[in-house]
Amino acid sequence: MKVAVFSTKKYDQKSFELINQNYQLDLSFFEFRLTEQTARIAQGFDAVCAFVNDDLSQPVLAQLAKAGVRLIAMRCAGFDKVDLNAAKALNIQVVRVPAYSPEAIAEHTIGLMLSLNRRIHRAYQRTRDANFSLEGLTGFNFNGKTVGVIGTGRIGIATMRILKGLGMNILAYDPFENPAAIELGATYTSLDDIYRHAHVITLHCPMTDDNYHMLNAQAFEKMQDGVMIINTSRGGLLNSKDAIEALKSSRIGSLGIDVYENEQDLFFQDKSNDVIKDDVFRRLSSCHNVLFTGHQAFLTDEALGNIADTSLRSIQHFAKGEESGNELITNS
């Protein structure tokens, strides 16, 4: 199998080359994203390995099918950028990595919570300038506070384990209740109930048409003043423009973001010498109580190894005419 791996960084190539010693696939790495303009590079490849911000809309898939690509291997859990109906019509199978390291995402989530609450990012900047004033750095105890966890899959459960260790009261929302959440002491409830009672809200759900911009002006109005919101899931779950207004009114007390709705033109690149043209991003990132990371919650050695292994194993299964269990398109 000849595989074109798009949107690769040095850490991707290192982990894939190491794990590929077990699979011996023919891998070619490309740093640029998969788009309508770059899809022609896939000519002669059997499979494409894509990442979270690659474009897999119908026009791109049509080009890939014409080029001979029969498999799309998403090296991530999310697949909202993939037109599955178009892929099925073009006879292209799509696989993903359903769970590479829930703990990696969970630990990053907690890191954002702790940093925002105790203003660690601000304290770091101050002390580098020999400013040791504690004014404006007061936080609160997580112990005894209520946290709302939206999405109780593997990542949500891994996050709950840590939240329980912090002594927090856990409210949960998911269309499908997970017994593991109940065992951890979580109480399933409605979104409105979470909005009304949670001091902290953290998102761990996939992106769908139904939950696009679920955290919007109407949702913020139901929350208590000073709520902390963490999003390490999908950028489109949060209406960024509405969040700016909620920050201005202090309805949102702090906001931790590892994902951003328009991140494809920003994240995974060095933009330090560029003028950022995204005004919404600029306004958000200028707030002292907003902490951005560049979609790095997954970035641990363990997660990278699991991503590479699952992706390459799925490709190998496909080459043998077998199912890996990670397929997104069924024959029914």
pLDDT the model gives residue 24: 96
Of 177, 209, 215, the closest CA to residue 195 belongs to: 215
Determine contact, residues 2/46, Cβ cutoff 8 Å.
yes
Q: Which one-letter DSSP state was computed for residue 327?
A: B
pLDDT in the model for residue 332:
57
Cα–Cα distances in Å, from 146 out to 10, 29, 105, 163? 40, 45, 20, 10
CA dist 196 and 174 (Å) reads 17
Domain boundaries, the chain: 2-100+300-320, 102-292
Active site residue 96: no
Q: Which amino acid is at 48?
A: V
- Identify whether the C-beta of residue 163 lies closer than 8 Å to the C-beta of residue 149: yes
Choice among 75, 96, 234, 313 that is catalytic: 234
Q: What top-level class would CATH report for the domain 2-100+300-320?
A: alpha beta
The per-residue pLDDT for 264 is: 87
Measure the CA angle with vertex 112, ends 136 and 224; round to 5°: 65
Question: b/e per residue, 211-221, with b = 16+ CB within 10 A?
Answer: bebbbbeebbe
75 is catalytic: no
* Burial (Cβ within 10 Å: 0-12, 13-18, ≥19) of residue 132: exposed
**What pLDDT is recorded for position 166?**
98
pLDDT for position 111: 98
Phi, psi at residue 103, to the nearest 5°? -65, -35
pLDDT value of position 265: 85
In the set 75, 199, 295, 313, the catalytic residue is: 295
The values of phi and psi at residue 266, to 5°, are -125, -55
**Token representation of residue 326:** 């990670």
- Tens digit of pLDDT at every position of the chain (332 positions): 999 999 999 999 999 999 999 999 999 999 999 999 999 999 999 999 999 999 999 999 999 999 999 999 999 988 988 999 999 999 999 999 998 899 999 999 999 999 999 999 999 999 999 999 999 999 999 999 999 999 999 999 999 999 999 999 999 999 999 999 999 999 999 999 999 999 999 999 998 989 999 999 999 999 999 999 999 999 999 999 999 999 999 999 999 999 999 998 899 889 999 999 999 999 999 999 999 999 999 999 999 999 999 999 999 999 999 999 999 998 75
| pLDDT recorded at residue 77 | 86
* Contact (CB, 8 A) for 244 and 215: no
327 included as an active-site residue: no
Our CA dihedral for 205, 287, 269, 272, rounded to 10 degrees, sits at 180
Same fold, 2-100+300-320 and 102-292: yes
Residues 6+ apart with CB under 8 A from 241: 280
Q: What does pTM read for this prediction? A: 0.91
CATH topology of domain 102-292: Rossmann fold (3.40.50)
